[in-house]
Chains A and B, each alone.
Chain A
Amino acid sequence: KAGVTQTPRYLIKTRGQQVTLSCSPISGHRSVSWYQQTPGQGLQFLFEYFSETQRNKGNFPGRFSGRQFSNSRSEMNVSTLELGDSALYLCASSTGTSGFQETQYFGPGTRLLVL
């Protein structure tokens, strides 16, 4: 079974631009979560989507948004990029059926650099 895939793998943007990242979950998984990883803050939860609805949300500003499609693929968008948004953005998928205590499997991440 193929793992979680994320595109693109690397991205360079300038301040003020916006960016869209994509994630395809493991086949059959319906929950997709997004995390931001930085050296200073570590791994932090952004949001979780299940059945095209945001089910949980972390403590990030409204510039960070996401969505999920009917095939469970998910995108996250960051508008008005700031230097501090430079990070590795990780997507994780799980079955989504229980809504809690589910093993999450991570993709390789998208490395975003904001100049």
Chain B
Amino acid sequence: GESVGLHLPTLSVQEGDNSIINCAYSNSASDYFIWYKQESGKGPQFIIDIRSNMDKRQGQRVTVLLNKTVKHLSLQIAATQPGDSAVYFCAENNAGNMLTFGGGTRLMVKP
């Protein structure tokens, strides 16, 4: 993914709605993908991961979809809550344990 610097894309959703955060990754050889959530003043927190031999993986209230054909990753959050407000990063792993991060998307949940 590309860094968008200070001007993070923002997704604003109503509490209780579903959220979909998208990410385009850069390397077709990447074989492992992770979504992280970062709240203000904290380090990135692991949410869910997926390997390239899968196209969907579900966790608690979250689902990750992987489309290798178009190099696209998405994170779906069901029944979004105020505590979900944060910046979300996708990361790809294509060499050793080196992660390449996308620029991030800010999720704002309106009560």
Contacts and interface: CB of A to CB of B under 8 A. Distances in A.
Whether chain B is bound by chain A comes out as: yes
Interface in B1-26: 3-6
Nearest to B52: A101
Contacts of A58: 98
B97 A48 contact: yes
B101 A100 contact: no
Given A106-B45, A107-B43, A41 B96 contact: no
Contacts, number: 76
A56 B43 contact: no
A63 interface: no
Interface residues of B, number: 29
Contacts of A100: 32, 93, 95-97
Q: What is the size category of the interface that chain A forms with chain B?
A: 20 to 34
6 contacts: A42-B5, A44-B101, A48-B96, A56-B97, A58-B98, A101-B31
Interface of B: 3-6, 31-32, 34, 36, 41-46, 49, 51, 89, 91, 93, 95-104
Interface of A: 4, 31, 33, 35, 39-45, 48, 55-56, 58, 90, 92, 94, 96, 99-109
